[in-house]
Each structure stands twice: as structure tokens, then as C-alpha cells.
A and B are shown apart, each in its own frame.
Chain A
């Protein structure tokens, strides 16, 4: 029996394949397997709203972010009982083309696995204490949207509806 693949906040480069392999191995070792595995990678774009991006910096409140990732996993299991999620987020300076976040989701059936993965990235954006600082050729800006509140039920429903659209 191997231990459960943990969530992570890391300054090291992220890749999808090792995380997929780790979750697949965990599920196989548990004797449960799974019907479907889905992965997502968020990758740094070269432009944002018409502005040329030079690089990004991500900053996180690591201890709280890891708790939020756990909570997102619990929320996903409440909605899709067979769900298993692993979320890794990068911090520090990222170049164009590098992954800032990698999510792997498992569920008994493919439709749910896609939903779990989509739900997870929506919730990460809504509530994880992680901030993106964009550096353009002509300036810089923090990306700020929602006040992070995991108890905001309206936001959670929005994520659920997006996942099931």
C-alpha cells in the first residue's frame, strides 16, 4: 500500500505526467483502481488582454493553500463520491510556457472525472490564497478578482455549475 499522493505548493517546475502516474499508482495500490483519470495544466500565456507578457510571479500562503486544496478535495467527494484529486501549484517566477498549476482527478466514470477536474480549477481560482503578479513589456499588475471566502456558497455553486455545464 503506498501512501496518498499529497497536494503541493512548490517553487520547482511542474509536470503532468509524474503526477498522473503517481495517482494512478496510488489507486492501483489501494485495490480500487478508477474508471477515469483526467489532468489539467494551467500554462503561462505570452499575452494578457493584448499586452505582451514577459513573465509571471506567483505568491502563495502555503500553509493555508494546502488546507484549501484539502477542502476542495472534500467538496469534490461530496459532489462525486468516487472523486480523488491532487493539486500542485507553483510559486515564484515563471516563464512563458511553464505550468503554474497541475491538477489530476480520478473518478469511477469519465464524465465525473472531467467534472471533478474542472470543479477543482474553478475552486482553486476562487478561494486558494495564491496571487498572480503579471510583468508586461510596459508595466506590471496584480491579478485580483474575488475576495477569498471558502464559505461563500454562491461561489461554490458557480463552480459546480461550471463543472457540470
Chain B
């Protein structure tokens, strides 16, 4: 099945694109989608654990199961506790 992936901020820059479609098996999780994105865009793979995710514009977990046609987004760290 196919899902659409959107990458934000530094992830988008590292990948050199804002969105892509990836094919994953039935029952695949957000973590599986991330692996597929890493294969398609090797530049983003080192980000790994610091990335958070959303499915259909709701925060998701790495074990969240995705479905055909879902919009999966990967989010680099936000400004967080930085004294900005």
C-alpha cells in the first residue's frame, strides 16, 4: 500500500524534497514508513530518534499503524527548551 510522506524544516532540506510517496506492506507502522523514507532519502536517516511524527495531522507514535492513503509527517525537533 502507498502512503504520502511530508517532511518539515531541516528534514525537508536534507531530503531535498517536501513530500514523497512510499510503499509499505499492510500493517506497517510509522517506524516502517520512516525506514522507507531513509532508504529513499539517505540524508535524513541519521535523524532517527529525534524525529516525531504525525498521521493525518494528529501526533502519532512509532508503533502507530498506518493505512493506505494516510498522510504521514515527520517532524524534526522544535525550538523546545531553548532560551529563544
Contact flag A129-B79 (CB < 8 Å), given A63-B57, A144-B10 = no
Contact flag A145-B8 (CB < 8 Å), given A61-B57, A64-B58 = no
Closest to A71 in B: B59
A161 at interface, CB cutoff 8 A? no
Q: Contact between A131 and B81 (Cβ–Cβ < 8 Å)?
A: no
Report which B residues bind A (CB closer than 8 A): 6, 8-10, 50-52, 54, 57-59, 73, 75-82, 84
- Of B57, B73, B79, the residue contacting A145 (CB under 8 A) is B79
Q: Contact between B78 and A145 (Cβ–Cβ < 8 Å)?
A: yes
Q: Contact between B80 and A67 (Cβ–Cβ < 8 Å)?
A: no
Q: How many residues belonging to A are interface residues under a CB distance threshold of 8 Å?
A: 26
The complex places the Cα of A59 from the Cα of B78 at a distance, in Å, of 10
Report which A residues bind B (CB closer than 8 A): 48, 59, 61, 63-64, 67, 125-133, 142-151, 158
Q: Contact between B82 and A129 (Cβ–Cβ < 8 Å)?
A: no
Can you offer 26 A-B residue contacts whose CB atoms are under 8 A?
A59-B8, A59-B9, A61-B8, A61-B73, A64-B58, A67-B58, A125-B78, A125-B79, A125-B84, A126-B78, A129-B54, A131-B8, A131-B78, A142-B9, A143-B79, A144-B79, A145-B77, A145-B78, A145-B80, A146-B80, A147-B51, A147-B80, A148-B52, A148-B77, A148-B80, A151-B59
Q: Contact between A131 and B51 (Cβ–Cβ < 8 Å)?
A: no
Q: Contact between B75 and A67 (Cβ–Cβ < 8 Å)?
A: no
- Of A63, A126, A128, A142, the residue contacting B76 (CB under 8 A) is A142
Q: How far is the CB of B52 from chain A (nearest CB, A)?
A: 5
CB neighbours (8 Å) of A64 from chain B are 54, 57-59, 73
CB neighbours (8 Å) of B52 from chain A are 147-149
Q: Contact between B81 and A146 (Cβ–Cβ < 8 Å)?
A: yes
Q: How far is the CB of A47 from chain B (nearest CB, A)?
A: 12
The complex places the Cα of A143 from the Cα of B78 at a distance, in Å, of 7
The complex places the Cα of A48 from the Cα of B54 at a distance, in Å, of 31
CB neighbours (8 Å) of B81 from chain A are 125-126, 145-146, 158
Q: Contact between A129 and B58 (Cβ–Cβ < 8 Å)?
A: no
The complex places the Cα of A61 from the Cα of B73 at a distance, in Å, of 9
Contact flag A142-B10 (CB < 8 Å), given A61-B75, A64-B59 = yes
